[in-house]
Amino acid sequence: MTQDTHFWRPLLKRLANFSEFTEEEAETIAGLSATAQRLCVGTVLIEEGDRPEDVIYLVEGWAARYKILPDGRRQIVAILIPGDLCDVQVFTLKEMDHSIALLSDAKVARIPKRTMLQTMEDTPRIARAMWWSTLVDEAVLREWLVNMGQRNAFERLAHLFCELWLRLKQVGLTSGHGFHLPLSQEGLADTMGLTPVHINRTLQRMREERLITLRSGELVIEDIERLQKIADFNPNYLHLLQRK
For residue 236, the model assigns a pLDDT of: 94
Q: What is the mean pLDDT of residues 89-96?
A: 70
CB contact at 8 A, 201 and 189: no
Domain with CATH 1.10.10.10 in the chain: 141-238
CA distance 16 to 21: 7
- Cross-strand bridge partners of residue 175: 178
Sheet holding 178-180, edge to edge: 178-180, 218-221, 212-215
DSSP string, 121-174: HH-HHHHHHHHHHHHHHHHHHHHHHHHHHHS-HHHHHHHHHHHHHHHHHHTT--
Comparing CA positions, the residue from 17, 18, 10 lying closest to residue 173 is 10
Q: What is the pLDDT of residues 217-226, one digit of tens each?
A: 999 999 999 9
For residue 218, the model assigns a pLDDT of: 97
Q: Which helix (H) or strand (E) holds 191?
A: helix 185-192
Comparing CA positions, the residue from 191, 195, 190, 167 lying closest to residue 180 is 167
Fold annotation for 141-238: Arc Repressor Mutant, subunit A (1.10.10)
For residue 2, the model assigns a pLDDT of: 45
Q: What is the mean pLDDT of residues 76-98?
A: 83
Tally of CB atoms within 10 A around 202: 22
**Structure confidence at residue 59 as a pLDDT band (50, 70, 90):** very high
Q: Which residue has the higher pLDDT, 75 or 87?
A: 75
Domain with CATH 2.60.120.10 in the chain: 35-117
For residue 90, the model assigns a pLDDT of: 65
Q: What is the pTM of this model?
A: 0.92
CB contact at 8 A, 82 and 60: yes
Lowest-pLDDT choice from 15-19, 77-81, 113-117, 143-147: 15-19
Terminus-to-terminus CA distance in the chain, angstroms? 21
| Highest-scoring range by mean pLDDT, 15-24, 37-46, 49-58, 113-122 | 37-46
For residue 92, the model assigns a pLDDT of: 66
The CA-atom distances, in angstroms, between 92 and each of 39, 41, 95 are 25, 27, 9
Residue type at 37 in one-letter notation: Q
- Residue 37's SS3 state is strand
CATH of 35-117, one of 2.60.120.10, 3.30.56.10, 3.30.750.24, 3.30.450.20: 2.60.120.10
The CA-atom distances, in angstroms, between 221 and each of 70, 91, 166, 225, 236 are 37, 38, 12, 9, 20
Residue type at 215 in one-letter notation: R
